[in-house]
A and B are shown apart, each in its own frame.
Chain A
């Protein structure tokens, strides 16, 4: 019988199954960062348990770490303690690899994993972070987990899971110039809503997805969680294999050949059945901008801020009104008239080299508008930063008026010093526009790197296609 990719990934990891379908799933790769792990390591210690397989663990510090003045270390004592706790735990327990604060390969965990080849096709990848879905770009079953589950995986190398339903989201056709994977992700979330994928594992397929680079696929899978799906993934193809070749932790020699043979089976079979199939045309997708406090509150750049009075559903209308109030926006305002205070290019959604290249191509020879208080470019990892500098992208950002920072999560969630002040409005390439996400009272509009760069230059949102 033809199988879909999710069936294949699931079946190849079931260790044990309870009568109600709850299964023990074997975990191949465990990514660890400082925020969601200390309580798990502590729990392990308190119960006298040992980690099951140390070589599955790859760790880095990213959420709390500062992105400038590294010579001063981590000045916030609470953040410093958390990062030091990770250092101590990894020192004690061990790991396949650890990229601590200030290491040249440190960075956002979801950027670091793939670029080092520790994420491989067919794996189960977990991390105490919801955007673990990013790794699905490699044909992985990649799941965000809570801290109790982090402890569970440390102690048992397994996760308790019930099988989700399988959704295929097909996107076919050719994306227009200036339209990116980020816009595809936002357009999908706009259509199905932030709970549209709840209970599903989403496979992204179709000719548009096949044409996306591996990095762009990561951007798309990264946001599967914002559609409510715990995971999103994409079949392995030659691009995936090409991307992995030569990565530090990717297999070599004979093992590489054997691995590639196996990886080529990681796709949905012809005629495979899904619980739900949805479709979209690439030509229908325009550059997207969120206007509200949930990623589903999104429109195209040529649109206006929606009018709650036209919404029939009372709960939805109230939600829209609340969002407009928080965002300080009036209904029916053209999106291109929304003026911004800050720009953030970074996060596990859009901080890889292609993202920086794309933004730089817009910024080249142009200047950030004088009305923009701060424009931040934060590479996803030390290696991305180095590559960007080799290509001279740092100069383009700096000449345009951006600050060029060290790698980390930074203003995606503002646990370090990079944040919005109350009332400030930001064009951000991150993945969440929740209330207070980028700083208490801050207002976030999610966009692609190209659109963020365009907004930086104009001082308000503008159609990047006019600058191409």
Chain B
């Protein structure tokens, strides 16, 4: 996983609450058996006016000129600003893969759905939760000022505005460490392999039915 330390990036505003993972990456693209290449189909149904198919070249598809990611001023954005409950719905990790592949490394919202929030950390995306009043203010600034950028620093846990003001955000210490270092969760967990084995053995003795290896009696 790529580490995340600090990013100064252009902000794109997606002014909707409850953006679900079906909207982030529609289901037909979930047929891929790869982790990459989802960027061109991010927000596919909002971005294009036709219906996209997996494997299709998107360069000549008709685009919806009003959708924010199609506006010239937001090209190259790395920070997505949005509303509450972002990423609700399906557990598909294709959603963060698509956001990452498109170029987003930070998503700022009032709140996130749990599974999506988790999936972000596994993929080097930093989800930042800010209070509604600060989100409102950021939306106002982004739309008023073309080329609006923010500085996001994970170590300091701050979002720094162009005028130098810093907004603080919370993040779990363990997730922060992992993201700052780009650590692989599995490698970290396997350091506890002995403990896992011991736990498993105890459980096997106490509740052997959980460890059946075949369908008994059929």
Interface check A68, CB cutoff 8 A: no
Inter-subunit contact B115/A198 (CB<8 Å): no
How many A-B pairs fall under 8 Å by CB?
199
Q: Quote the shortest CB–CB distance from B198 to chain A (angstroms).
A: 9
Interface check A55, CB cutoff 8 A: yes
Inter-subunit contact A20/B209 (CB<8 Å): no
How many residues of chain A are within 8 Å of chain B by beta carbon? Answer: 83
Q: Which of B13-21, B68-76, B143-151, B155-163 contacts A (4 or more CB under 8 A)?
A: B13-21
Q: Which B residue sits closest to A38, measured CB to CB? A: B33
A residues within 8 A CB of B173? Answer: 18-20
Interface check A364, CB cutoff 8 A: no
Q: Which A residue sits closest to B199, measured CB to CB? A: A15
* Interchain CA distance A221-B128 in the complex, whole Å: 29
How many residues of chain B are within 8 Å of chain A by beta carbon? Answer: 64
Given contacts A38-B33, A152-B186, whether A145 and B199 have CB atoms under 8 Å apart is no
Inter-subunit contact B213/A96 (CB<8 Å): yes
* Interchain CA distance A63-B31 in the complex, whole Å: 10
A39-B35, A148-B185, A149-B119 known; 5 other A-B pairs, CB under 8 Å?
Answer: A24-B196, A145-B91, A248-B218, A413-B27, A415-B30
* Interchain CA distance A3-B115 in the complex, whole Å: 26
Task: List which B31-72 residues lie within 8 A (CB) of chain A.
Answer: 31-35, 45, 51, 54-55
Given contacts A55-B212, A128-B91, whether A228 and B122 have CB atoms under 8 Å apart is no
Inter-subunit contact A252/B217 (CB<8 Å): yes
Inter-subunit contact A148/B119 (CB<8 Å): yes
Nearest 9 interchain pairs by C-beta: A251-B209, A148-B122, A38-B33, A146-B93, A146-B119, A20-B173, A22-B174, A147-B93, A195-B85
A residues within 8 A CB of B118? Answer: 145-146, 149
Q: Which A residue sits closest to B116, measured CB to CB? A: A146
Q: Quote the shortest CB–CB distance from A347 to chain B (angstroms).
A: 13
Interface check B203, CB cutoff 8 A: yes
Given contacts A79-B31, A146-B93, A158-B196, whether A198 and B113 have CB atoms under 8 Å apart is yes
* Interchain CA distance A195-B89 in the complex, whole Å: 11
7 A-B contacts (beta carbon < 8 Å): A15-B199, A24-B192, A49-B186, A76-B31, A195-B18, A248-B217, A250-B209
